[in-house]
Amino acid sequence: MSTAHEVISAFLDDEPFDPQDLASALDDPAGRTLLIDSLMLRRIVQPVDAIPPMKAAAPARRFGWRVAAAAAMFVVTLTGGYLVGERRSTAPVDEAPPPTRVVQAVPFVPAGGGR
Amino acid sequence: MADSEGLFAAYHHRVFKYFCRAVGHGDTARDLTQEVFLRVSRSPVAVNGDGSAWLFRIARNIVLDHQRSQARHPESSALTDEAARPAHQDVSTAVNAALAALPALDRDVFLMREVAGLGYEEIAEACELTPDAVRSRIHRTRVQLRDQLAAPIATSRTMAATRSERTRKDDQ
């Protein structure tokens, strides 16, 4: 079959074609036979009695997003808790706490006058 | 831009039909269709356009992997009970055999057009060819298959003529 009949394929496939070329190809009885046979071929190559899968495979990456979201929530909670705790604390952490009881020290005098 | 669920809704049936003819078994075709959309859902690639060319490039790679695997383990391929087949399955078997005898690229280009309904531009993108090369390959494959499937095509012509005759009689 000559390449002059390629225009018949383009016509069948709804692709751009030159109408003059198509007219010439269909003037040839072999071209007309090819057109009909190609239509019949299209019919018989369609799969029959086949049921396609009805739902998409579960995307695996969603699990990754969930883990990442949970980790981000954990970090935010931890940081927030630390900051709130620090703000509520009244005493500066680098100084000693104030005394609760003051004991006066008495000078030591040994018994017997130091002999 | 297309998401994986949108691609599934728009193309799963066409991908499945392509696999049915490319591998010749409905069950395998179903598994391979799931595999395509699993890869799509895992892919970080943002898809431009409607995504059909990208999707069928994945599908084609899966078919090629499957066929390499079948070549390594020929005993695992499913066998058909020749005696128990209905008549339409004889045609289907003849079609599968004729397709299997084609070079892989010609078969894929032809099936993407005839079964999956892709345009020449999309097929060219999926198979890394030019649209002109797609046009030539499709035509050449059609002519080749017409010769190999002459008997089923003749039967189909006769059946079409009979149906047309019956419709004409019913209308009168």
Q: pLDDT digits over B128-141, tens only? A: 999 999 999 999 99
Closest residue by Cα to residue A12 from B128, B110, B20: B110
What's the rounded Cα separation, in Å, for the pair B170 and B40? 50
- pLDDT given for residue B82 in this prediction: 46
- pLDDT given for residue B2 in this prediction: 64
List Cβ neighbours of B110 (8 Å cut-off, separation of 6 or more). B99, B102, B137, B138, B141, B142, B145
List Cβ neighbours of B147 (8 Å cut-off, separation of 6 or more). none
Extract the tokens encoding A41. Answer: 């071929």
Contact status, residue B37 vs residue B19, Cβ threshold 8 Å? no
List Cβ neighbours of B40 (8 Å cut-off, separation of 6 or more). B4, B7, B8, B55, B58
Extract the tokens encoding A11. Answer: 């016509």
Does the pLDDT at position B81 exceed 80?
A: no
Ramachandran region, residue A39 (left: φ > 0; alpha: ψ -120 to 50; beta: rest) = alpha
Q: pLDDT digits over B66-75, tens only? A: 999 988 876 6
Averaged over B63-83, what is the pLDDT?
71
Averaged over B46-61, what is the pLDDT?
86
Higher-pLDDT residue of B170, B121 = B121
What's the rounded Cα separation, in Å, for the pair B152 and B92? 9
Does the pLDDT at position B44 exceed 80?
A: no
DSSP string, B101-149: TS-HHHHHHHHHHHTT---HHHHHHHHT--HHHHHHHHHHHHHHHHHHT
What's the rounded Cα separation, in Å, for the pair A11 and A4? 13
> What ipTM, to 2 d.p.?
0.85
Structure-token match 């128990």, residue found: B84
pLDDT band at residue B79 under the 50/70/90 scheme: very low
Amino acid at A45: V
Averaged over B112-133, what is the pLDDT?
96
Amino acid at A75: V
Q: What is the mean pLDDT of chain A?
A: 82
Contact status, residue B4 vs residue B37, Cβ threshold 8 Å? yes
- Residue B47's SS3 state is strand
- pLDDT given for residue A93 in this prediction: 63
Distance from CA of A4 to the nearest CA of B (A): 10
- pLDDT given for residue A83 in this prediction: 84
Q: pLDDT digits over A55-84, tens only? A: 665 554 555 677 888 888 888 888 888 888
Averaged over A30-42, what is the pLDDT?
96
Contacts of B136 in chain A (CB under 8 A): 3, 6
Count of helices and strands (H, E) across chain B: 8, 0
B37·A57 Cβ contact <8 A? yes
Interface test with A, best of B34, B35, B55, B114 (most A CBs within 10 A): B114
- Residue A80's SS3 state is helix
- pLDDT given for residue B164 in this prediction: 87
Query: Who among B8, B35, B139 is closest to A5 (CB)?
Result: B139
Q: Which A residues in the span 54-113 are in contact with B, Cβ-Cβ below 8 Å?
A: 56-61
- pLDDT given for residue A67 in this prediction: 80
Q: What is the mean pLDDT of chain B?
A: 88
